[in-house]
């Protein structure tokens, strides 16, 4: 058995770190209204950073073509609108116990994956060895045999990475809440819409990129996976 786990992650901004601490502090003495406002702001910041890091940051990093930029920007905009609207409805329905559970869950996602003065804390979720191997295999083959040989396999692996992230960032924490049948349906529909939009972005963008862009994207997809002692 490996003594190392692998995580999908990115460096949490100082803003996100501070908002998380402020929200946790508010649970001790702030009014329910203030707690809800702080939680909503925190969750929106969290969602925006996830989407910006995983989808928007590669645009500049790989010097993505105009068509790819348009696909990514449009998809991210749609996902943010869906997430923000859903969060506004969900947070209103959360009990004090729900808000406490959410605080603990968010805290569990913040991990010190490596020593870094810029990013001491990472937003991170564990991935399976099998998924990491699939990504590695696609990247290695793409570098050795050409990008055209791995478009489907690489896209499939990235879509699975989206599923892991969506489950950990949205479905799992909201599933712990006692929101009722109607809100559960709303969050389920929103989750499906976000998954569909994210996968559409991947499956449309990857084939649109040149070999040079794909080489840069390979580096990006490797950069968001981090080893950490088990």
230/46: higher pLDDT: 46
Asked if 35 and 26 touch (Cβ cutoff 8 Å), the reply is yes
Residue 115 lies in a domain: yes
pLDDT in tens, 4-24: 889 998 888 889 888 999 999
For residues 46-52, give the mean pLDDT. Answer: 93
Residue 175 lies in a domain: yes
Residue 230 lies in a domain: no
- Per-residue model confidence (pLDDT) at position 12: 85
Residue 128 lies in a domain: yes
Residue 111 lies in a domain: yes
Give residue 1's pLDDT band: very low, low, confident or very high (50, 70, 90).
Answer: very low
Query: Any idea which residue has 């991170």 for tokens?
Result: 124
Give exposure, 12-27, as e/b (b: 16+ Cβ within 10 Å).
bbeebbebbeebbebb
Residue 85 lies in a domain: yes
Give the percent of the chain with pLDDT over 90.
59
Residue 200 has pLDDT above 90, yes or no: yes
Count: domains in the chain: 1
Residue 73 lies in a domain: yes
If we measure between CA atoms, which residue out of 172, 163, 109 comes closest to residue 131? 163
- Per-residue model confidence (pLDDT) at position 60: 85
Residue 214 lies in a domain: yes
Domain interval for residue 212? 4-225
């Amino acid at each position: 058995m490996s003594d190392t786990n692998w995580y999908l992650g990115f460096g949490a901004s100082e803003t996100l770190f501070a908002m998380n601490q402020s929200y946790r502090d508010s649970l001790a003495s702030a009014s329910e209204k203030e707690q809800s406002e702080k939680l909503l702001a925190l969750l929106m910041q969290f969602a925006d950073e996830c989407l910006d890091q995983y989808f928007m940051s590669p645009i500049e990093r790989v010097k993505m073509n105009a068509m790819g930029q348009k696909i990514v920007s449009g998809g991210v905009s749609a996902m943010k609108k869906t997430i923000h609207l859903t969060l506004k409805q969900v947070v209103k329905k959360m009990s004090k116990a729900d808000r406490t559970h959410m605080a603990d869950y968010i805290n569990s996602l913040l991990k010190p994956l490596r020593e870094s003065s810029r990013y001491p804390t990472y937003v991170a979720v564990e991935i399976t060895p099998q998924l990491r191997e699939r990504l590695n295999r696609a990247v290695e083959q793409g570098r050795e045999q050409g990008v055209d040989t791995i478009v489907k396999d690489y896209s499939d692996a990235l879509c699975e990475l989206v599923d892991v992230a969506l489950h950990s960032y949205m479905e799992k924490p909201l599933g712990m809440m006692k929101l009722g049948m109607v809100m559960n349906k709303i969050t389920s529909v929103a989750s499906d819409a976000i998954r569909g939009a994210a996968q559409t972005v991947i499956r449309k963008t990857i084939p649109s990129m040149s070999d040079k862009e794909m080489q840069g994207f390979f580096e990006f997809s490797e950069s968001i996976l981090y080893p950490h002692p088990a």
